[in-house]
Amino acid sequence: MKPTTLPGYLERAARDGAPRDSLTFIDRRERETALHYSEVYARARRSAGALAASGIKQGDRVAIILATGPAFIDALFGLQLLGAVPVPLYPPVRLGRLTEYYDKTAAMLTAASATAIITTGRVRRVMGQVIARYAPPCGVIEATTLHTGPDRDPADTAPDDLAMVQFSSGTTVAPKPVALTHAQALSNAEEIVRVVRAHSDEPPGGVCWLPLYHDMGLIGCVYVSVVAPGPLALISPEIFLARPALWLRAISRHRATVSPAPNFAYALCAERIQDDELEGVDLSSWTLALNGAEPVAPASLRQFSERFAKWGLPKTALTPVYGLAEASLAVTFSEPSRPFSSRHVDREALLEGRIEPVADGIEVVSVGTPLRGFAVQIRSPDGAVLPEQSIGHIWAKGPSIMAGYLDRDESPIVDGWLNTGDLGYLLEGELYIAGRAKDVIILRGQNHVPQDIEQSVDEVEGVRLGCAAAVGDVGEDGERLILFVEYREPREALAEDCRRAVLKKTGLNPELVVILAPGTLPRTSSGKIRRAEALRQWKVGALLPPDKVTPWLLAGAMASSALGYLKSRRG
């Protein structure tokens, strides 16, 4: 009988998994540590025992603040076997933004009513200021020793029990706690498995560098690998960003068929990876290079496909998809058996909210059709369903849609339909994304998508790839377009060159181009730029580069953390 909970699937994987079915962790030197699912399950049982001894009970919500590694997996499945609810949160990866990190993390812990925090090492040493803001009843639990606890039988868990809490990306507003049951998370993972198996002749297997506190990494990779036991190689996102070639080498070495990433990663690989880093690499097994989590740029897909074709990358590999945390993960998939599909549409009609296909115009990429059990509608602001080729708000319905946000009355769900907050349109049954509704720039009565403006400067010399934010503002003379751009190499004419690039490609003339140091633009936990927050910070003089990471900064952070721990104990 098919399992109905994540612990049930993990137990089955431990019992029935083939010898090669394991989680493999790859470090920056490409050394590998493999855990077969039988070992993952045994460690989870012992972790459940250790967590129970620390005071964690069934139904408690517990934050996991860990980098990718065995300890994260121990904490995740240990909590679920105990019947507790894991709340994965991101560790402090931007050390130059620690004060901002403390405030955001404390707010998320409060929103989740976390009973404890599971962490270790360097993260634990700087968490004191978070604890001073939010002191969980069971305190901070050391992660690396969880798997040495006493063996514990799994708790009785039902499909409608909470399986996890994941936070929305928070691109336009503060991140919100998305409550997902076992049934909801599993229905999405099971459907992804069905699509993958239907379009791959290779044995299942994957490589993932995405953060495990994000739905694309956790549900789309880890949960999928447990539902359909197979080898999954895991790489920390920091390692990928420092050495993107390691991702492609791991795909080749493990003969992976599936590996997802956001659009920027494909552009980064095409730009940064050198030929000599791919000696002996064979990408012919990679049949599903999923592209989601942020707007899909056709130029990036084309560049990646052409750049790595000589290493065997199939022409059909790049597969744009669409999803969001409130839907557990995936909502639509492109047809995996064909190259990615794009259309050219008339720019003027697009500005008026209509879609008119033309031979030469703005190129937009299809993110496919709804997964089995899902439906997608395009609606007007008042909720009326719009016909095809009309731009409007994207609404989705399906078995993995959340019931609501955790402990909140507000909900974007009406009669089972989720208002995604995104804009898009349908054309011949396929979905096209036009951006976040709250990010749309209105100039002289016309709507403009910020991504088109931002991508105009990607090829300008000295600009950091994917590090621009276009926003609309109301100045003394009315509406104006402001463009924030981070430099890779500062030079005097950079602002003017960016302005000209935008004018040439979009017909818009930014009133102001603000050149920023690397790392200045505010981002979500998944790396998306927060445009409205960038404008707000700039207006109050707070859009500043991150602090330079030095030994003195780290020493100060640890000293401040120690004071935070001391304050929490006294409190």
Confidence check: pLDDT of 182 > 60: yes
Asked if 366 and 485 sit in the same domain, the reply is no
pLDDT of residue 12: 96
Q: Tally the domains of the chain.
A: 3
pLDDT of residue 564: 65
pLDDT grade for 506, boundaries at 50, 70 and 90: confident
Q: What percent of the chain clears pLDDT 70, i.e. is strictly above it?
A: 92
- Give the CATH number, domain containing residue 331: 2.30.38.10
Q: What is the mean pLDDT of residues 92-106?
A: 80
Which residue has better confidence, 294 or 256?
Answer: 256
Q: What is the mean pLDDT of residues 311-334?
A: 94
Q: Which two tokens stand for residue 406?
A: 């955790």
- Residue 92 inside a domain? The answer is yes
Which residue has better confidence, 506 or 246?
Answer: 246
Per-residue pLDDT reduced to its tens digit, 381-396: 999 999 998 889 999 9
Domain boundary among 439, 454, 473: 439
- Residue 302 inside a domain? The answer is no
Per-residue pLDDT reduced to its tens digit, 313-322: 999 999 999 9
Q: Which two tokens stand for residue 281?
A: 């690499």
Asked if 329 and 467 sit in the same domain, the reply is no
- Residue 324 inside a domain? The answer is yes
Q: What is the mean pLDDT of residues 100-125?
A: 90
Per-residue pLDDT reduced to its tens digit, 393-407: 999 999 999 988 998
Q: Which two tokens stand for residue 399?
A: 């078995």
Asked if 348 and 240 sit in the same domain, the reply is no
Give the separation between CA 373 and CA 331, rounded to whole angstroms: 10
pLDDT of residue 96: 66
- Give the CATH number, domain containing residue 254: 3.40.50.12780
Which residues lie below 8 Å from residue 295, measured CB to CB, with a gap of 6+? 263, 433, 435, 451
pLDDT grade for 556, boundaries at 50, 70 and 90: low
Residue type, 391: I
Q: Are 147 and 41 in contact (CB under 8 A)?
A: no
Asked if 314 and 445 sit in the same domain, the reply is no
Domain containing 495 equals 441-539
Asked if 389 and 524 sit in the same domain, the reply is no
How confident is the prediction for the chain on average, in pLDDT? 89
pLDDT of residue 95: 65
Domain boundary among 393, 409, 439: 439
pLDDT of residue 136: 93
Per-residue pLDDT reduced to its tens digit, 46-63: 999 999 999 999 999 999
Q: What percent of the chain clears pLDDT 90, i.e. is strictly above it?
A: 59
- Residue 230 inside a domain? The answer is yes
Asked if 390 and 448 sit in the same domain, the reply is no
- 3-class SS at 496? helix
Asked if 245 and 390 sit in the same domain, the reply is no
Helix (H) or strand (E) holding 214: none
Domain boundary among 227, 260, 293: 260
Query: How many other β-carbons are positioned within 10 Å of the β-carbon of residue 567?
Result: 15
pLDDT grade for 271, boundaries at 50, 70 and 90: confident
pLDDT of residue 223: 96
Asked if 399 and 507 sit in the same domain, the reply is no
Q: Which two tokens stand for residue 226?
A: 């447990």
- Residue 112 inside a domain? The answer is yes
Q: What is the mean pLDDT of residues 32-51?
A: 97
- Residue 413 inside a domain? The answer is yes
Asked if 153 and 90 sit in the same domain, the reply is yes
Confidence check: pLDDT of 171 > 60: no
Q: Are 116 and 135 in contact (CB under 8 A)?
A: no
Asked if 233 and 167 sit in the same domain, the reply is yes
Task: Enumerate the β-bridge partners of residue 343.
Answer: 364
pLDDT grade for 552, boundaries at 50, 70 and 90: low
Phi-psi region of 136 (alpha: psi -120 to 50; beta: other; left: phi over 0): beta
Asked if 459 and 414 sit in the same domain, the reply is no
- Give the CATH number, domain containing residue 461: 3.30.300.30
pLDDT grade for 153, boundaries at 50, 70 and 90: very high
Asked if 232 and 128 sit in the same domain, the reply is yes
Q: Which two tokens stand for residue 563?
A: 């004071």
Confidence check: pLDDT of 309 > 80: yes
- Residue 280 inside a domain? The answer is no
- Residue 282 inside a domain? The answer is no
